């Protein structure tokens, strides 16, 4: 996880925009996932919540942002939630926001076609 965060920070310093669909970006760390709590997103105060209404304006307002497309019923997404929250907390210190989009919400369904999201994980 730390090496991926360093790479992401390096990309930010070069002024690149990163836009990634996660749930398996850090797949090597998923093998270390512990059972997820009832609400693995509880207490995550550092990840920006996006939806169809604020997605474009937020992405355009940032120099660099990483976005996770997830569903609350996906076991891998649930297992990854604490690690993503930790990454959001760490990268926020460097001015790099992490965001997430709940694909279970009907208003976000068009993202699937637009960004080639065909399944979870």
> Which of the following is catalytic: 75, 79, 113, 119?
75
Active-site residue among 15, 23, 43, 76?
76
Q: What is the 3-state secondary structure (H, E, C) of 14-69?
A: CCCCCCCCCCCCCHHHHCCCCCCCCCCCCCCCCCEEECCCCHHHHHHHCCCCEEEE
Torsion on CA atoms 68, 71, 87, 116, rounded to nearest 10: -20
Select which of 23, 43, 77, 109 is catalytic.
77
Examine the residue annotation and report whether 79 is marked as an active-site residue of this protein: no
77 catalytically annotated = yes
By annotation, the residues acting in catalysis are 74-77
């Amino acid at each position: 996880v730390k090496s991926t965060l360093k790479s992401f920070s390096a990309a930010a310093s070069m002024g690149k925009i990163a836009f990634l669909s996660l749930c398996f970006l850090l797949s090597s760390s998923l093998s270390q996932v512990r059972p997820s709590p009832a609400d693995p997103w509880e207490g995550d105060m550092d990840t920006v919540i996006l939806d169809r209404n604020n997605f474009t304006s937020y992405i355009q307002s940032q120099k660099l942002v990483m976005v996770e497309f997830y569903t609350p019923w996906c076991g891998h997404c649930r297992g990854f939630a604490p690690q993503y929250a930790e990454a959001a907390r760490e990268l926020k210190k460097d001015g790099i926001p992490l965001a997430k989009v709940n694909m279970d919400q009907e208003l976000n369904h068009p993202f699937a076609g637009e960004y080639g999201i065909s399944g979870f994980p």
